């Protein structure tokens, strides 16, 4: 989990820091979808590893490459890539 501290720099006298805990996409992936990718990995280990690596490297599903998103949709049997996450 990535922790980011954001400082509101509008007024230097009353500076407040917001602490955001941003999870990567793999951490946000629904359990049933993690299991589906793991099962897929038994037959296609390299593809599953590449999917997991990309999901672990991104925080927003809109930043995932089209091919990876399409693979996740097919493996998890979903219509919209964003539905794979909590």
Q: Where are the alpha helices (DSSP H) in 8-60?
A: 25-28, 31-43, 45-57
Better-scored residue on pLDDT, 52 or 16: 52
Prediction pTM value: 0.76
Distances 11 to 1, 4, 5, 45, 55 between C-alpha atoms, Å: 30, 20, 17, 52, 37
Tokens of 78: 């979903």
pLDDT given at position 20 = 78
Closest CA to 58 of 48, 45, 68: 68
β-pair partners for 17: 7
pLDDT given at position 59 = 95
pLDDT, tens digit, 9 for 90 and up, residues 19-77: 678 899 999 999 999 999 999 999 999 999 999 999 999 999 999 999 999 999 999 99
β-pair partners for 2: 22
């Amino acid at each position: 989990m990535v922790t980011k501290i954001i400082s509101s720099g509008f007024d230097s006298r009353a500076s407040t820091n917001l602490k955001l805990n941003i999870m990567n996409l793999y951490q946000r992936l629904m359990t049933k979808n993690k299991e589906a990718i793991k099962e897929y990995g038994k037959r296609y280990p390299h593809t599953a590893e590449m999917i997991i690596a990309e999901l672990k490297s991104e925080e927003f599903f809109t930043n995932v490459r089209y091919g990876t998103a399409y693979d996740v949709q097919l493996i998890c049997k979903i219509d919209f890539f964003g539905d794979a996450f909590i």
